[in-house]
Structures are given as structure tokens and as C-alpha cells.
Amino acid sequence: MRKIVTTLAMMAAFMASPALAERKGIAFVEAPEMSSGMCTGANREEAFGCARKQCIDNGGTDADCIDTTYCFPAFWSVDVFKQNNDGFHWHEIHCGAGSKEDALAIAKAVCDKVRNPELMECAAARLFDEDGKEYEVPAE
């Protein structure tokens, strides 16, 4: 019990720390087959509001732009494109990775063909840092 209380106290102190208060969250919005948006922000509402605006500005409709993913703190994020053997495709966002290399390792793990034989295609499509800057995904 004492360990739990200590752990909770440490987590509360970390969450209240100025360093965490300066961090941003990252939000992803998608209109399937139409558009998407990604933004960072000081809070969930700010980040999703900006990402939704991007989605609509890029051709999506308000009804079709769906809030899909939010992480706080943002750290590194990777957008993984997946397509199954029947041809259905989708994007999975994984965020909160500690580094660019960690984000790419996550993509590699979720694309493992042994674990996911139903996938005909799977790869990191986009990579973002905690400020929302997009980086080129290195060729494998």
C-alpha cells in the first residue's frame, strides 16, 4: 500500500511540474477516403479544433472529419498505413514514443508479418515530432 501511495504522489508531482505544463498534446482527425488533419495544442480541445479545421480545409466535411487520436504529451508519433489481403486499408496512429527511432520501431512491430499474416501491406507513412513537424520516413 505504501508503494502505491508513493507512486501516486510521484505521478501527481510529475503531472503538476512546469516541464509537463509546457508540453503539447497532438491530435489526429481523419475523413476516410477524403482528408485528414494533425495539430499540436496546449490541450485536447485546442489540438482537435485545429486538426478538424485542417481536415475540412483539405476537402473533408464536418460530418466526415472524425477525431481519431490524441496523446499528451505528444512526444513522437507515427502514422502506420495498413492494408489487409482483402484490400481494405486504414491508418493507425501511434503516439507518445520517446524518440524518432522508438516511433519507427513501433511501426515495425505492428507491421510484423509473422504476427499479422492478414496484411498485404503495412508501413510507416508519416512521422511527427512533439511540435508536429513532419519528418521523412526512412526507406527500409
pLDDT in tens, 108-122: 999 999 999 999 999
In the numeric block, the cell 480545409 is attached to 57
Strands 119-128 vs 134-135: parallel, antiparallel or unpaired: antiparallel
pLDDT in tens, 33-63: 999 999 999 999 999 999 999 999 999 999 9
The letter for the amino acid at 24 is: K
Does the bond joining 73 to the residue before it have cis omega, within 30 degrees of 0?
Answer: yes
In DSSP terms, which residues pair with 120 in a beta bridge? none
pLDDT in tens, 61-87: 999 999 999 999 999 999 999 999 999
